[in-house]
Copies of this chain bind each other. A is one copy, B any other.
Amino acid sequence: MKLEYRNLRVALLGGGSVGAQVARLLLEQGPELANRVGATLELVGVAVRDVNAERTVDLPRELFTTNAEELILGADIVIELMGGIEPARSHILLAISSGADVVTANKALLALHGPELFAAANQVGAQINYEAAVAGAIPIVRPLRESLAGDQVKRILGIVNGTTNFILDRMDTEGSSLEDALAEATALGYAEADPTADIGGFDAAQKAAILASLAFHTAVPLASVYREGIELVTPAQIESARKAGYVVKLLAICERVTDENGVDGVSARVYPAMVPRSHPLAAVHGANNAVFVEAESAGSLMFYGAGAGGVETASAVLGDVVSIARRHVAGGPGVAASSYAALPVFDIGRVTTRYAVTLEVTDEPGVLATIASVFSKRKVSLALVEQSMTPAVMATKSRAARSATATLVIGTHDATEAALAATVQDLVTNSVVSEVASVLRVEGV
């Protein structure tokens, strides 16, 4: 049987934790994959910087080479798992121009140079698959690209960074400090030695750019993604959110929006936000990822699973390889990346959402009215005021003034970032406010 199959030459760039697993699976599952594809997948080599470096998986020594270009020029399918911008970008462009299809998990590269790479691929009918670039093994790129191709995506709320979800989950369930939870994540191998990319939301922002581009058929540059990390999230905020029935998650948000002037556009942003406990995203614990998609016709969908890990990510890479291999057998060009919609990408100032603002205020009568008028002046309307305040703050008529302060938690209705920022500025300078203790956005309501 096997002799009748066409042979497809697969070149692997990168021998790290994902690359080594991909190589192992290609070697181990060769016959099984050949049956699924109708072609044999021959791993012709693994390009690495140092052929003598130690690998997480024991692989035949003769597979390794430092000559990536030569490997690429002899391949039908090139799998790029080196990471980083260069030489990954040049290697992918070389693969496309030499007639190969490409599978990559390189989110940084796609977020920065996606349009260039897709344009090169579209020109020659090549395919770039990148399921592993977002949310590891969870199928999200293909569902957005194909399953929802006949629908209109309205919003995506994604937990797309396992490290920060692990940390926030520990803070929520164990009452840990951010530092302790980060130390635990590092000890468990979830966090890198330098955790900036995770903690600062940079990794999530790259994924937000990729998801928004896909979902809205619009090139969404990384630079247009608004980004806040979890550095400033405090146990007090988590505790206060928990009491109010919320959990704090770092969300990658991609949204179709219409601004105040009726202009349609899209927004991509990353920040820690309060999510209701009853929302399916609230049940995503540990280092897991999940992407919650709201579509015009399909309604709410959620895709859940492990967001990282060598073998998990390798599964997504292999799915992409099999998909390309099947097309090689069937013939026809690759599915082109689409960006025809070319919607404007809005600045965060034009986006509306809800907020929870925690204030330390003078504990005296009339304070609530004063605060309410600050919000009202900026046309930010109030949805709720937390009941934990003292009787003095609640009272609108005179009573004995007190020198102590009280805590006020205010939830707003939808407001623009610009209006909220102006409100916060007014609060900071208001004499009854001793501190703006916390401002958190509320999503998923």
Interface residues of A (CB under 8 A from B): 21, 25, 29, 32-33, 35-36, 38, 131, 137-139, 142-143, 146-152, 217, 280, 283, 295-306, 309, 311-312, 314-323, 326-327, 330-336, 338, 340-341
Contacts and interface: CB of A to CB of B under 8 A. Distances in A.
Nearest to A292: B304
Chain A binding surface SS class: mixed
B338 A315 contact: no
- The oligomer's copy count stands at 2
Contacts of A32: 152
A137 B318 contact: no
B305 A302 contact: yes
A306 B299 contact: yes
A306 B300 contact: yes
Contact of A143 (B142, B318, B332): B142
A174 to B, nearest CB: 16
5 contacts: A137-B299, A139-B142, A150-B315, A298-B306, A331-B333
A317 B341 CA distance: 22
Given A297-B312, A300-B305, 16 more contacts: A21-B297, A29-B152, A32-B152, A36-B149, A38-B336, A139-B143, A139-B147, A142-B142, A147-B316, A150-B315, A151-B318, A297-B314, A298-B316, A302-B303, A302-B304, A330-B335
A319 to B, nearest CB: 4
Which residue among A147, A326, A341 has the maximum number of chain B CB atoms within 10 Å of its CB?
A: A147
A237 to B, nearest CB: 24
Contact of A304 (B36, B304, B335): B304
